[in-house]
Structure 1
Amino acid sequence: MKIIVTSLFVEDQDKALEFYTEKLGFVKKHDIPMGKFRWITLVSPDAQAGTELLLEPNEHPAAKEFQKKIVADGIPATMFGVDDIHKEYNRLLENGVKFTMEPTKMGEVTIAVFDDTCGNLIQIIEK
């Protein structure tokens, strides 16, 4: 068994698609109409056959509440691995990404957190 898709609740699928592809550099794998919404998945450009990130509409009241509460508590919705966190931090800053935590050493790892403009905090970690 392996993880093939993981979901991330977003407030606006179009805005999320633009942010995750244009600002972060993910690649769109699927964009399929599903009634009012779409099945939009993204992959890492370095692992296009790897795990897909589903941009899931937060239409359900529980999803909206979950999203608001974890952001209010400063909890990231998910984590992405990077090879060089300082290089990635600077690249994202140049792309207009707003960070809530700059690269910070936490024990054996270094992390940073940014706002995805779609209702989430996202953590990056140097792997």
Structure 2
Amino acid sequence: MRIELTSIFVDDQNRARDFYTGVLGFEIRHDEPMGDGAFWLTVGSPERPDGPEILLEPAGHPAVGPYREALIADGIPLAQLAVDDVRAEVERLRSRGVAITQEPTDFGPGVFAVFDDTCGNIIQLLEMKPDEQA
């Protein structure tokens, strides 16, 4: 068993497409109209062409709003994205106008930071330390 696809609910798929590709640097894997202005819109890392994809899914279901509001109120990111250097990535994102909601924080086995994806979510960046440094 393996993870191939996971969803991130977004308020606006067009804005999400622009943010996740133009700002974060993911590449579009699928962008197919599904009717009613929605798309089967997936992105993936150019570093892993055959790796898992994120479905940028419309947040229209009635359960999504309360779920995301509760996560944000408690400071819980909807998703985590791995990076090699959290501090460098935070500076790159900040230079592109991204709101960093939690500065890089060392937590023992890694370093994390959190940003606002402009589409209704907070997302965590995670850099795991090599085992000998944990």
TM-score past 0.5 threshold: yes
Aligned length: 127
Alignment correspondent of 1:64: 65
- Cα deviation, residue 107, structure 1: 1.9
1:101 aligns to 2:102 (yes or no):
yes
In 2, the alpha carbon distance for the partners of 1:8 and 1:17 equals 12
In 2, the alpha carbon distance for the partners of 1:117 and 1:29 equals 21
Alignment correspondent of 1:4: 4
Q: Per-residue CA shift, 1:51-110, capped at 9, x if unaligned?
A: 000001010110121111111211100000100111111111111111011111112211
* SS of residue matched to 1:71: helix
- Cα deviation, residue 48, structure 1: 1.6
Aligned partner letter, 1:51: P
Q: Greater Rg, structure 1 or structure 2?
A: 2
Alignment correspondent of 2:13: 13
Q: Which segments of 5 or more consecutive residues in structure 1 lack a partner in the other structure?
A: none
Name the Cα RMSD after superposition: 0.8
Alignment correspondent of 1:79: 80
Aligned partner letter, 1:25: G
- Cα deviation, residue 30, structure 1: 0.4
Conserved? CA contact 1:71–1:119, under 8 Å: no
Q: Per-residue CA shift, 1:8-66, capped at 9, x if unaligned?
A: 00111001111111111010110001112100000001012110000010101101211
Runs (4 or more) in structure 1 with deviation over 3 Å come to none
Conserved? CA contact 1:23–1:96, under 8 Å: no
**Percent same amino acid at aligned positions?**
50
Aligned partner letter, 1:17: R
Q: Which segments of 5 or more consecutive residues in structure 2 lack a partner in the other structure?
A: 129-134
